Structure 1
Amino acid sequence: MIQRMQTVYLILALAFCGILFFIPLSLALPDTDAGNVYKLDAFGISFSQDKLTILAENTIALTACLAIASLLILIAIFMFKNRPLQVKLSRLSTVLLLVFVVLIFYYTDYMIGLNEVETKSIYVTGTYLPFVAIILLLLAVRAIKKDEALVRSADRLR
């Protein structure tokens, strides 16, 4: 299982999705000292006030997309004997991660509106990691298809 290239791609994609649960996705910084600094992560929009982190908005859609995509990747890793299902799960995970990226941009724009003062958004590392996971999933699908073609050609020779 682990010696197959698609499994390595899937494990790496799962690792990047797992990292996304722990790092910020974007920040909304006020242009002056008057506003709050808002942070978007996989669980919601929060800001710090008097050394306390306060959850301003809960982003259930963002959390659900990332959790379901991660779960589907994990299932796909163990479906190595059923390659067509592995391809479908990987493609569905790719679509969910694309929705996740769209939601990141949506919630970042939403964060800017939460501040009363002029605010600018900063996209940090967490914004770009889903793209790496998507590329790894596409490489995994390509490797799975190549593996399936190899198995079919071997079956033809029998």
Structure 2
Amino acid sequence: MIQRVQSLWLLAASICGFATLKMPYYVGSVGAAPAEEFSAMSHLLLLILTIAAAIVALVSIFLYNNRPLQLKIALAGMAVSILNIVLYFVFTKKYDTGAIALSAVFSFAVPIFFLMAILGINKDEKLVKSVDRLR
């Protein structure tokens, strides 16, 4: 399980997903109000999608015996994490002034880690198919 590199990518995606819960994605203000931090905890839909993507990554680690299912779940997790980033951009439009926080890197890293895991799962699947042809 841990010997496979995609397990490490999925673990990294899960850690980054859970890290985005508390770390700000955007720091901005509306009108003359003081600046506030916008994170996944600021909006219920973002909270649900962030937790879902992180849990999907964790669950997918333990599906190493069923690579096709692991691949489908990792693709779904990647889609959820991309949707999460799109929603971040949509919800930051309400601020008049502000900037994306440095910790937003964690949000952008989640789909990249999912992509790396998907590539590793595909590589394993091709290897298993090539060994089956040799038998």
The verdict on a shared fold, with TM-score over 0.5 as the criterion, is yes
Classify the secondary structure of the residue corresponding to 2:106: helix
Match of residue 54 from structure 1: none
1:107-122 alignment to 2 at 5 Å? 107-110=91-94, 112=95, 119-122=96-99
**Is 1:151 equivalent to 2:128 in the alignment?**
yes
TM-score, with structure 2 as normaliser? 0.93
Q: CA deviation at 1:30?
A: 6.2
Q: Which residue of 1 aligns with 2:25?
A: 25
State TM-score, norm by structure 1: 0.80
Q: Secondary structure at the match of 2:22?
A: coil
Percent identity reads 30
| RCO comparison, higher one (Cα < 8 Å, 6+) | 2
What is the aligned partner in structure 1 of residue 41 from structure 2? Answer: 43
Q: Is the 8 A contact 1:25 1:39 kept in 2?
A: yes
The alpha carbon displacement at 1:29 in A equals: 3.6
Aligned residues: 135
Check 1:122–1:10 CA distance in 2 against 1; reply closer, same or farther (3 A cut).
same
Match of 2:51 in 1: 67
CA distance in 2, matches of 1:89, 1:151: 19
CA distance in 2, matches of 1:29, 1:93: 31
Query: Once the 2 structures are TM-superposed, how far is the Cα of residue 130 of structure 1 from its aligned partner?
Result: 2.0
Give 1 or 2 for the bigger CA radius of gyration.
1
Secondary structure in structure 1 of the residue aligned to 2:51: helix
Question: RMSD of aligned C-alpha atoms?
Answer: 1.5
CA deviation string 1:19-70 (max 9, x = no partner): 1112111111468xx42212211111xxxxxxxxxxxxxx111011111111
The answer to whether the aligner puts 1:95 opposite 2:79 as a matched pair is yes
